[in-house]
Amino acid sequence: MSNRVKLRVPFAFDNEKQLYDPQAAEKGKHYFCPACQDTVILRKGEIKTAHFAHKTSETCNQETILHKTAKQLIVQVISDWKLGKTDPPILRRSCEICRKSVDQPLPDKVEYAVLEHRVTNGFVIDVALMVENEPAAAIEIRVTHAVDENKAKSLSIPFIEVEGQTVIKNPTVLEPIRDHFLSFTCGPCKKAKARFHVKVNNVAKQTDVELPNHYYRYGFCECWKCKREIIVFAWPKASEWDNSAPKVKPIPRTIQYRYSKTVSGKYWANTCPRCNSIQGDWFLFSDPDGPFFGIRCEKKFARCI
């Protein structure tokens, strides 16, 4: 086996199992690869950027080093936070409503993190976030390969997937490239959502329309005929002038199987609870001013927002 130095190690352990950035490492101390525990060499001079070097190995490679280092860094950052040494790590997530990126601190209920934890269905997760000594969520690291689809579908806890190189650059801010944590709503959208629900309940009461609690989405529009504000609904295939009835009953009373001159046929359509006129799907779903413009109700859709 050649002794030629090939692999670069972004962080290395000292004898106390503390990860060190090469800039903060000291010459003369011993440091070890996070992946295989082999000794690494600190290269720190005035010309080249400081780094740890790893001799060629039959048991270690660059991908393994990056993957293991990213996992270890996340565990260490969470440990330092729980010990009061640093602020909580940040999750940079998209609001489920406005889609803007928002920084969300890791919840205080997370007690600690465990490396390479095996869950009940046999899968090993890269980093487990523990609450009351049970894994409550997982962080998966992508270096070359994404999380296997079978694993993604089978995990019994929420998870995010983050890029390994991004974690190594800054382990205090986690930017999911795949987010299966519980949905997140930013502050302004929470307030807007609360106002929406107050208004929708008032209009529902005024028009004697019962609001479903799943399957259907609902929104507002002004009836094209009587010019009064009404509640309208969306459901899977609602924008396709589909002849099949909505799958979940009771069907709101304003969704009716009606004949439309526009489409020269009958379909399930929204109607006005005040004047009984059909509210055209083109306006509701395809017009930029329509309440459901850009929204698709998939079959898996299970709640109203």
For range 74-85, the mean pLDDT: 96
**Residue 197 falls within a domain, yes or no?**
yes
**Residue 302 falls within a domain, yes or no?**
no
Question: How far is residue 232's CA from residue 290's CA, in Å, rounded to a whole number?
Answer: 10
How far is CA 120 from each of CA 133, 141, 154, 158, 197, rounded to the nearest angstrom? 14, 20, 11, 14, 39
pLDDT in tens, 94-143: 998 888 999 999 999 999 999 999 988 889 999 999 999 999 999 999 99
Same domain, 157 and 235: no
Domain total in the chain: 3
Structure tokens given for 154: 């089978």
Dihedral angle sign, alpha carbons of residues 57, 58, 61, 65:
negative
Query: Residue 126 in 3-state DSSP?
Result: strand
Question: How far is residue 218's CA from residue 304's CA, in Å, rounded to a whole number?
Answer: 7
Same domain, 170 and 77: yes
pLDDT tops 60 at residue 5:
no
**Residue 291 falls within a domain, yes or no?**
no
Question: How far is residue 78's CA from residue 87's CA, in Å, rounded to a whole number?
Answer: 9
Buried b / exposed e along 38-65 (16+ C-beta atoms within 10 A): eebebeeeeeeeebbebbebeebbeebb
Same domain, 79 and 172: yes
**Residue 304 falls within a domain, yes or no?**
no
**Residue 93 falls within a domain, yes or no?**
yes
Same domain, 162 and 257: no
φ, ψ for residue 207, nearest 5 deg: -105, 5
Residues 16, 21, 23: CA angle, nearest 5 degrees: 120
How far is CA 131 from each of CA 70, 82, 183, rounded to the nearest angstrom? 22, 13, 19
Same domain, 168 and 247: no
Structure tokens given for 139: 């962080």
Query: Residue 166 in 3-state DSSP?
Result: helix
pTM value? 0.73
Same domain, 227 and 257: yes
How far is CA 65 from each of CA 160, 236, 303, rounded to the nearest angstrom? 21, 46, 42
Write out the residue range of the structural domain in which residue 11 sits: 5-60
- The alpha carbon of residue 40 and the mean position of all alpha carbons in its chain are separated, in whole angstroms, by 36
Alpha helical stretches, state H, the chain: 62-82, 149-154, 164-169, 187-207, 281
Alpha helical stretches, state H, 32-163: 62-82, 149-154
**Residue 194 falls within a domain, yes or no?**
yes
**Among residues 69, 9, 75, 15, which one has the least CA distance to residue 42?**
9
Same domain, 124 and 80: yes
**HSE (CB half, 13 Å, CA atoms) of 101?**
8
- pLDDT band of residue 169 (cuts 50, 70, 90) is very high
- pLDDT band of residue 81 (cuts 50, 70, 90) is very high
- The alpha carbon of residue 55 and the mean position of all alpha carbons in its chain are separated, in whole angstroms, by 38
Question: How far is residue 25's CA from residue 37's CA, in Å, rounded to a whole number?
Answer: 17
Q: Which stretch of 39-48, 175-184, 269-278, 285-294 has the lowest confidence by average pLDDT? A: 39-48
Question: How far is residue 162's CA from residue 139's CA, in Å, rounded to a whole number?
Answer: 7
Q: What is the pLDDT, as a whole number, of residue 305?
A: 36
Same domain, 73 and 163: yes
Same domain, 247 and 263: yes
How is residue 86 annotated by DSSP?
S
Same domain, 83 and 159: yes
Domain boundary, last residue among 179, 198, 214:
179
- pLDDT band of residue 298 (cuts 50, 70, 90) is low
Q: What is the pLDDT, as a whole number, of residue 297?
A: 58
**Residue 254 falls within a domain, yes or no?**
yes
**Residue 277 falls within a domain, yes or no?**
yes
Same domain, 203 and 153: no
Same domain, 112 and 154: yes
